[in-house]
């Protein structure tokens, strides 16, 4: 079956703009989580969604937001982009929360902020 699909794979924005990233989980998976990966900070947890509800949120400013739709697809949004938001944004899905051993990552959306 198809893996976790993230779009777009690459994008370039300028400071002050906003961006929306999309994630389609593996079919049947209802839990989606997001991570930010940078060379300096490594992999950091952003959010977790299950049944359209945010279950957990990482230590990121309010400019970072997300949501999950009834079909389990998820989006994350970053407003008022800063240079430091340049990163690989990874989405992961699992059948349900707590199935961490069955957490599957997408290939990420690489955001560059100029």
Partner 1 sequence: GENVGLHLPTLSVQEGDNSIINCAYSNSASDYFIWYKQESGKGPQFIIDIRSNMDKRQGQRVTVLLNKTVKHLSLQIAATQPGDSAVYFCAETLQGGSEKLVFGKGTKLTVNP
Q: How far is the CB of 16 from partner 1 (least distance, A)?
A: 29
- Which residue, 17 or 69, has its beta carbon nearer to partner 1? 69
- Rounded Cα gap, residues 1 and 74, in angstroms: 19
> 3-state secondary structure string, 41-86?
CEEEEEEEEECCEEEEECCCCCCEEEEECCCCCEEEEECCCCHHHC
Q: How far is the CB of 78 from partner 1 (least distance, A)?
A: 19
CB-facing half-sphere around the CA of 5: CA atoms within 13 A? 7
Per-residue interface string for the shown chain with partner 1, residues 33-72, x marking contact by CB under 8 A: x-x------xxxx--x------xx-x--------------
Footprint on this chain of partner 1 (rule: CB under 8 A): 4, 31, 33, 35, 42-45, 48, 55-56, 58, 90, 92, 94, 97-98, 100-108
């Amino acid at each position: 079956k198809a893996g976790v699909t993230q779009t777009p794979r690459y994008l370039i924005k300028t400071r002050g703009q906003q961006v929306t990233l999309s994630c389609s989980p593996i079919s049947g998976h209802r839990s989606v989580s997001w991570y930010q990966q940078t060379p300096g900070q490594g992999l950091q947890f952003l959010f977790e969604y299950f049944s359209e509800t945010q279950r957990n949120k990482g230590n990121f400013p309010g400019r970072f937001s997300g949501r999950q739709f009834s079909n389990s697809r998820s989006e994350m949004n970053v407003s008022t982009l800063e240079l430091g938001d340049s990163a690989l944004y990874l989405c992961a899905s699992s059948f349900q929360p707590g199935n961490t051993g069955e957490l599957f990552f997408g290939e990420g959306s690489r955001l560059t902020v100029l």
